[in-house]
Amino acid sequence: MTAHATPIIEFLSVTEQLTDDVMLNLTFTFLILTVAYFIVIKECNNVKNNFVTCNF
Protein backbone atom coordinates (compact mmCIF):
# COMPACT_ATOMS: atom_id res chain seq x y z
CA MET A 1 0.00 0.00 0.00
CA THR A 2 2.76 2.44 0.93
CA ALA A 3 4.67 1.63 -2.26
CA HIS A 4 1.76 2.87 -4.36
CA ALA A 5 0.96 5.88 -2.16
CA THR A 6 4.50 7.30 -1.99
CA PRO A 7 4.86 8.42 -5.64
CA ILE A 8 1.51 10.22 -5.42
CA ILE A 9 2.61 12.03 -2.26
CA GLU A 10 5.94 12.96 -3.86
CA PHE A 11 4.14 14.16 -6.98
CA LEU A 12 1.81 16.33 -4.90
CA SER A 13 4.67 17.88 -2.93
CA VAL A 14 6.61 18.60 -6.13
CA THR A 15 3.51 20.14 -7.72
CA GLU A 16 2.98 22.27 -4.63
CA GLN A 17 6.60 23.42 -4.78
CA LEU A 18 6.26 24.34 -8.47
CA THR A 19 3.04 26.22 -7.78
CA ASP A 20 4.78 28.21 -5.04
CA ASP A 21 7.66 29.04 -7.39
CA VAL A 22 5.29 30.16 -10.13
CA MET A 23 3.31 32.35 -7.73
CA LEU A 24 6.55 33.86 -6.42
CA ASN A 25 7.74 34.59 -9.95
CA LEU A 26 4.38 36.12 -10.91
CA THR A 27 4.38 38.34 -7.83
CA PHE A 28 7.98 39.40 -8.49
CA THR A 29 7.24 40.13 -12.16
CA PHE A 30 4.13 42.11 -11.21
CA LEU A 31 6.13 44.23 -8.77
CA ILE A 32 8.83 44.92 -11.37
CA LEU A 33 6.24 45.86 -13.99
CA THR A 34 4.44 48.15 -11.55
CA VAL A 35 7.65 49.93 -10.61
CA ALA A 36 8.70 50.21 -14.26
CA TYR A 37 5.25 51.59 -15.16
CA PHE A 38 5.51 54.36 -12.55
CA ILE A 39 9.09 55.15 -13.58
CA VAL A 40 7.97 55.51 -17.21
CA ILE A 41 5.10 57.80 -16.21
CA LYS A 42 7.48 59.89 -14.08
CA GLU A 43 9.96 60.12 -16.98
CA CYS A 44 7.17 61.10 -19.36
CA ASN A 45 6.14 63.92 -17.03
CA ASN A 46 9.77 65.07 -16.75
CA VAL A 47 10.48 64.92 -20.47
CA LYS A 48 7.13 66.48 -21.45
CA ASN A 49 6.80 64.10 -24.42
CA ASN A 50 9.93 65.39 -26.16
CA PHE A 51 11.59 61.99 -26.61
CA VAL A 52 8.86 59.53 -25.77
CA THR A 53 5.24 59.66 -26.81
CA CYS A 54 3.31 58.56 -23.75
CA ASN A 55 -0.25 57.42 -24.25
CA PHE A 56 -1.29 56.50 -20.72
Considering the domain boundaries, does residue 28 fall inside one?
yes
Considering the domain boundaries, does residue 43 fall inside one?
yes
For residues 31 and 21, what is the distance between their CA atoms, to the nearest angstrom? 15
Cβ density class 1-29: b for 16+ within 10 Å, e for less:
eeeeeeeeeeeeeeeeeeeeeeeeeeeee
pLDDT at 18: 86
Considering the domain boundaries, does residue 14 fall inside one?
no
The HSE-up count of residue 1 (CA atoms within 13 Å, CB side) is 0
Considering the domain boundaries, does residue 2 fall inside one?
no
For residues 55 and 39, what is the distance between their CA atoms, to the nearest angstrom? 14
How many other β-carbons are positioned within 10 Å of the β-carbon of residue 33? 10
* pLDDT of 49 above 70: no
pLDDT at 48: 61
Range of the domain at 28: 20-48
Considering the domain boundaries, does residue 37 fall inside one?
yes
* pLDDT of 45 above 80: no
Which pLDDT tens digit goes with each residue over 2-43? 556 688 888 888 888 889 889 999 999 999 999 998 888 877
Domain count for the chain, please give it.
1
